[in-house]
Amino acid sequence: MCRRLSLLLSLLLAVFVLASPAAAQSTTFEKALAKAEEAVSHVETACAYDVTKFCPNVTPGDGRIALCLLAHEDKLAKGCLSTALRVGRSFDLAVSNVFRAAAMCEKDIPAVCSQVEPGDGRIIECLIDNQSKLSTQCRAEVAGLAERFK
């Protein structure tokens, strides 16, 4: 049950990220955002009945529907719950990969991307563009992230 809650919270986090306005996003960030929007769309489709049943008076936006579904997770249709859990696992894995890459590139980021303003995927874009200058560990992590967001 705790793991399911964690995965659903990952999905909820993604909904909040998707709802955030962003300017001057990197190509990598835009690709990641497009993949996240597609995944959330799968959940919206799979959970349409549950939203009408449990959250008919909830105003969409800012993750309110996701919170409503989370409040009723023990009553959700099997298809809705399994889709939400699958998407949650995917977001959970993506977040884990980003944190691991950040840890592996801790020394590379200031050395290679010190002039880059953090946010909206600009640091990862800098790392991808400068892979030849990265340490072996960082390069491996960055290559993996770049592959995920193709």
**pLDDT tens string 105-127:** 999 999 999 998 888 778 888 99
The predicted structure's pLDDT at residue 18: 47
Q: Is the distance from CB of 64 to CB of 51 less than 8 angstroms?
A: no
Exposure pattern of 12-43 as b/e (b: 16+ CB <10 Å)?
bbbbebeeeeeeebbebbebbbeebeebbeeb
pLDDT class for 47, splitting at 50, 70, 90? very high
Q: Which of 97, 84, 93 is nearest to 39 (CA)?
A: 84
Mean pLDDT across the chain, nearest whole number? Answer: 80
Query: For residue 72, is pLDDT > 60?
Result: yes
Please tell me the predicted confidence (pLDDT) of residue 1. 44
